[in-house]
Amino acid sequence: LPPELFQLSQALINFTVDFLKERDFGVYQVPYMLEEESIAAAVDMETFQDQLYQVNENGRYLIGTAEHALAAKYQGEVIEQDLPLKLGGYSTNFRREAGKHGKQTRGLWRVHQFEKVEQFVFCKPENHLKILEETLENAEDIMQELGLPYRVVDICDGDISNKTFKQYDIEVWRPPLQEYGEVGSYGSCTDYQAREFNTKYWRDGERATPYTVYATGLVPQRIMTAILENNQTEKGIKVPEPLKNYMGGKEYLELE
């Protein structure tokens, strides 16, 4: 990235991390690699494996999202904290993006290496849909604070993975293409991941299986693209108001 876009990317990351901290998320930086068994426990490996870069013959992969590492955090353990337990994850992600092509994939929009801030929640079974709506609301609030036009899509059951009970996507408006593009996914896995990882929590003095919710916080590469496409003025690219303090008060980006 050139200097001004790098600064914008870091501003988006820091803004989102601070936003999640204010909403009681403990934010972690997760490892770049996971064992295959951990990824397979977090996701339907048959549908996701062609997106992953394998590091060696021992079954270690570069991560495609912080979600998988956060889901594995309490593998084989009993969570002692009261639920919901809200975790944030910052990660550099690597995806092969096999089979992806077309105008939605050009430039920064779909790349093999990208950053992301993730939301991930361990919760009680009776609260999982409420938590899902809360994480979606967090993401909508971020979009609104950045002043970006967007819509929420309720994904039909036939288009979601085997691990997911319910999923929403957020799509941002892309003026050059005159269409919306997906910038985040938000779903409940019920007890799928926690069972696979043998993660428990205390309920009425007994061990029980929590539910998990995953949700994008922000992917800076795609949000940068949306800012560049939606905030063009004669003075340059207008910097969204909440990012100015993270960019030394800069109001416009002047890109060659």
3-class DSSP state for residue 31?
A: coil
Q: pLDDT tens-digit profile of 119-133?
A: 999 999 999 999 999
Confidence of residue 100 (pLDDT cuts 50, 70, 90): low
**Res 209 pLDDT > 80:** yes
Tokens of 117: 């801030």
Question: Do the Cβ atoms of 95 and 68 come closer than 8 Å?
Answer: no
Q: What is the H or E stretch that residue 251 is in?
A: none
**Res 48 pLDDT > 80:** no
* Residues labelled as active-site residues: 95, 110, 182, 185, 222
> Amino acid identity, residue 19?
F
Give the whole-angstrom CA distance, residue 212 versus residue 188: 6
Block residue for tokens 């690597």:
94
Give the whole-angstrom CA distance, residue 42 versus residue 127: 20
Specify the pLDDT at position 55: 87
Nearest residue to 224 (alpha-carbon basis) of 194, 247, 193: 247
Q: Dihedrals φ, ψ of 152, to 5°?
A: -110, 130
Give the whole-angstrom CA distance, residue 212 versus residue 86: 10
Nearest residue to 221 (alpha-carbon basis) of 54, 92, 87: 92
**Res 109 pLDDT > 90:** no
Q: pLDDT tens-digit profile of 139-191?
A: 999 999 999 999 999 999 888 888 899 999 999 999 999 999 999 999 999 99
Mean pLDDT score of the chain: 92
Enter the pTM of the model.
0.92
Specify the pLDDT at position 218: 97
- Check residue 97 and give left, alpha or beta (phi > 0: left; psi -120 to 50: alpha): left
- Check residue 16 and give left, alpha or beta (phi > 0: left; psi -120 to 50: alpha): alpha
Q: pLDDT tens-digit profile of 54-80?
A: 887 777 899 999 999 999 999 999 999
| Whether residue 84 has a cis bond before it, omega within 30° of 0 | yes
Question: Do the Cβ atoms of 10 and 246 come closer than 8 Å?
Answer: yes
